[in-house]
A and B are shown apart, each in its own frame.
Chain A
């Protein structure tokens, strides 16, 4: 991640920089002086490189770009959806360095160097991931808008159970969590389905997880 070189100083920016330097404020070397002018002028840009679905990607983005917008608008991976843009719905769930996160609440620049998996990276129509196949088999959707987030979340949630990470629904903190329906329901609570396909979603996940009851 590098700062984009400034393209000439406007008079206004020059004045602002002057004002900043005049206060003789010592900035650490990793912060450029234009930092303090940028608010007022054009957007600050950055170069980001990360791996998305196994492919290295290099982008130049406005610092404000969320990971979700980088995926959808820059890389045209429109599987990940924007439902709320505030961490409240889970439609934007992707897997970063092995963990599910809300891609709307992280900046692309913060993910420089990361490995990102979206629903497109789990499987494609001709070679589906078992979770994708199970969602189809069990009708785990109606409109489908929440589905990519549900699928990414479900894949990572099963891994969390396998890794022994407890949940609010775990009866004991000292025993490993079990593959039971109440665990799946709790772990999937960050993915809202406006169509209410919840029971079919849990059936699909249960089949992949081979849940007992």
Chain B
């Protein structure tokens, strides 16, 4: 690991200002950043610890929703009685991710900003446009079983690995940020993660120094919430495919899919086809998909997982 300086910020504003300096990173739970620093993939010169800024509370909003602090731990968010009751999809997605130990450290913002699990990104001997822009992509023609099938580009076919993000996308969450100039803004989940195009190293809409302060959820929408994660072992593994579903009594609903794209994959036009069943929805959802021979199975897996989740939701309703 490269040497770095460490400091604890004393306010969100000071943290954002300090982070403008090149080579500076916030550290929250540290479970992704330290992992990548040990491998020399992240090489910050300055770490700003944001764990002591009081951003760890979840509060009701005047609109009837919830505001989740950026530093709320994944364990606490999943266990929050309001989330369990009104946003069960979020609890379920969080609980399907990582391990008990990791969820105790991992934070809301850190989870959103965790980087891809593409094996070539992790191997610094391999070409990777995301790690070293312009160096090429060793995944192309390599082992791509875990990689993306839609929203990908000629430069990068990696997926975003977060389970939590799938739920936040289906729930129409908004990301609240504070900029170094003191201005705040809200970014819709739909616009938060970027598609790779020719710049796969740019992964989100955040600008230099921008600090995530919280995530807001709109008022609950009811319905039956199911998160189904298909993986190589039944716990403590990243998704091959995951489906988050909110199904209403009248048959309408929302679907977001993980494990297949560089961002949580949701196509509102596909949701209008829910009454026609999983085949119609997944055909529309995966319209334009470019799977590799290794990961073509994900096309079928999305349809089948959605079919199973729809059947389960109808049973539970």
Contact = CB atoms under 8 A, between A and B. Distances in A.
Given A44-B6, A107-B6, A35 B99 contact: no
B46 interface: yes
Contacts of A109: 6, 49
A34 interface: yes
Interface stretch (A49-57, A71-79, A132-140, A186-194): A186-194
A87 B102 contact: yes
A15 to B, nearest CB: 16
B46 to A, nearest CB: 5
A10 interface: no
B5 interface: yes
Contact of A110 (B20, B46, B51, B91): B51
A202 to B, nearest CB: 13
B23 interface: yes
Contacts of A26: 17
A28 B46 CA distance: 13
Contacts of B230: none
B2 A39 contact: yes
B8 A44 contact: no
Given A90-B101, A190-B99, A44 B84 contact: no
A13 interface: no
A174 interface: yes
B3 A106 contact: no
Most buried by B among A46, A102, A186: A102
Nearest to A172: B84
Interface stretch (B30-38, B154-162, B305-313): B30-38
A122 to B, nearest CB: 16
A28 B14 contact: yes
Contacts of B27: 107, 110
A28 B6 contact: no
B101 A190 contact: yes
A18 interface: no
A142 to B, nearest CB: 21
Contacts, number: 152
A168 B96 contact: yes
B221 interface: no
Contact of A64 (B3, B51, B104): B3
* Count class of interface residues, chain A: 35 or more
A190 B100 contact: yes
B79 A165 contact: yes
B243 interface: no
A173 B21 contact: no
A212 interface: no
B272 interface: no
A106 B99 contact: no
B145 to A, nearest CB: 19
B75 interface: yes
Interface string B78-106: 11000011001001100110111110110
B21 A64 contact: no
Contacts of B20: 25
Interface in B122-152: none
A162 interface: no
B100 A153 contact: yes
A171 B96 CA distance: 13
A166 B46 contact: no
B61 interface: no
A153 B3 contact: no
A186 B17 contact: no
Contact of B104 (A1, A62, A85, A100): A100
A44 B75 contact: no
A190 B45 contact: no
A112 B37 CA distance: 20
Most buried by B among A32, A46, A62, A63: A63
A159 B10 CA distance: 32
Contacts of B96: 168
Nearest to A93: B101
Contact of B38 (A31, A36, A85, A168): A85
Given A39-B2, A46-B6, A102 B102 contact: yes
A26 to B, nearest CB: 8
A167 B7 contact: no
Interface of B: 1-10, 14, 17-18, 20-21, 23, 27, 29-31, 34-35, 38, 45-49, 51, 75, 78-79, 84-85, 88, 91-92, 95-96, 98-102, 104-105, 235-236
Given A160-B75, A173-B92, 4 more contacts: A35-B46, A100-B100, A106-B30, A107-B30
10 contacts: A30-B18, A31-B18, A42-B3, A63-B6, A87-B99, A100-B101, A100-B104, A101-B104, A106-B34, A165-B79
